[in-house]
Amino acid sequence: MKQYKPMLAHPADAPFSSDDWIFEVKWDGIRAISYVKEELSIRSRNHKELTGSFPELSELNDLTRDTVLDGEIIVMKDGKADFQILNQRRQNTEPDEVAYMSGKFPATYIIFDILEKDGEELLDIPLMERKRILKNSVKEGKFVVLSIFVEKTGEAYYQAALGKGLEGIMAKKKQSSYEPGKRSNYWLKIKQEKTCDCVIFGYTKGEGNREKTFGSLILGLYDAAVPVFIGKVGTGFSQEDGENLKLSLDKYKVEQKTLTGVDTDREITWLRPELVCEVGYQSITDDGKLRIPVFKGFREDKNPFECTIDQIRPALSDYAARRDFSRTPEPPVSEEEGKGKSFVVQEHHARRLHYDLRLERDGVLKSWAVPKGVPEKSGDRRLAVQVEDHPLEYRKFEGTIPEGQYGAGTVKIWDKGLYEPIIWEANKIEFIVKGEKMEGRYVLVKFKKAGENNWLLFKGGD
């Protein structure tokens, strides 16, 4: 029996509405792929069998046959999904305890996709056709339901979800295929709080009232197969939680260092990188660390190697969400790597003529629309409105975006070359450019009084 890895989603910065997308509730549960064959198998993201922990889901055998389904297992308490109880249920192995918990806190399996039907793979079929096949292939039961979705109205649906106490919504492009194991720009998670699944590589020695526990957990994410340090988290657990956590952590102690690039201001106990935790955070610092991280809990249903750096790096999700690549000649999102600090300015004859300044940074083109063009004299100031990040391929783009598409109009390269950043901070960017027309020092300064995305661009003195 072929086993599938679930398709994963990129985080999106904000909700949006679009005719090309559908929107579903983002549930706080355990992702599970079900193989309803001669024998039923329900497997987590790290391929652990779940049928023993959730026997009530065996009703799948009566609701469908010869299918492979993707969905989320949740446990509801007081009208909300309760991950803590769900995790307790997943860990229970004693038959009496399993039977008791399944009666007191029954699980619900919310199915949102179908990957196989009657032995035929459906991965390359567009999402909306898979949804139709799913509806015709699976009956709903007491513990099994099909995910409800809406079309177009993502912003209103997001606000409604938050009003119900839910953590957010999922956005999925109607024409998207199913990409097993890939974190795709065609599935987006939109949450009020940013979170990241991180691998725990160690912990620092505790001081003061934490002397018997630990100071902070050392966190990392994988960039390909290489772990990258993304910071430490020391908040989100009580003293009692810390003592219990330390008992769990110490089972994974090793002598050798397991992660490079960690500042060693305190003694570190290194761990085998096998534990995954969910961490909330406010933003990402310029050097790629989590800002104001808060520990949310262990995620034993997730594989450490699925904890990849693209969770926190720019995902170009807003760029992809606004474009229909079957109609626009603009480049789709791909894996092109940066080759340095390039810049481009594009003359954009849209509804109104403006110029787009794009600076390569962190694998994307940070972009600003400059309505009156790039300043040419020292001291001249121009309004520059920050827009969505663009893929690196866009620095070569020239062409006409058709009517009805976002940014419709003709685009041509006005200038290009290399730049060297001097300062890159949240509210100020200073850089030196060497292009065919632009040369010298330029400064971008956040213009908060005029709006969150508004900056001032001016040419500095030599």
Residue pair 26/190 in contact by the 8 Å Cβ criterion: yes
Q: What is the DSSP-derived secondary structure letter of residue 348?
A: E
Residue 26 falls in the annotated catalytic set: yes
Residue pair 146/135 in contact by the 8 Å Cβ criterion: yes
CA 348 vs. chain centroid, Å, equals 30
Tokens 């940014």 locate to 407
Q: Which segments of 260-380 are extended strands (E)? A: 268-281, 283-284, 290-291, 294-298, 342-349, 353-361, 364-370
Amino acid 125: pLDDT: 97
List, in order, residues 6 or more apart from 31 with CB less than 8 Å away.
6, 44, 45, 70, 71, 72, 301
Domains 8-192 and 195-311 share a fold: no
What are 366's two structure tokens? Answer: 């940070």
Dist CA 151 CA 221 (whole Å): 34
What are 169's two structure tokens? Answer: 């919504």
Angle among Cα 123, 129, 131 to the nearest 5 degrees reads 90
What ranges do the domains of the chain cover? Answer: 8-192, 195-311, 328-459
Compute how many other C-beta atoms are within 10 angstroms of the C-beta atom of residue 134.
Answer: 23
Q: What is the DSSP-derived secondary structure letter of residue 148?
A: P
Residue pair 173/188 in contact by the 8 Å Cβ criterion: no
Answer yes or no: CATH 3.30.70.580 is held by domain 8-192. Answer: no
Catalytic residue among 2, 5, 26, 459: 26
Q: What are the mean pLDDT values of the chain's consecutive 10-residue runs (462 residues total)?
A: 92 87 95 96 94 97 98 92 90 90 96 97 97 98 98 94 91 95 90 91 90 92 91 86 87 95 88 96 82 91 90 79 88 70 95 95 90 90 92 94 93 96 88 93 84 87 66
Amino acid 79: pLDDT: 83
CATH architecture of the region 195-311: Beta Barrel (2.40)
Which among 167, 266, 281 is positioned nearest to 207, based on CA atoms? 266
Amino acid 452: pLDDT: 72
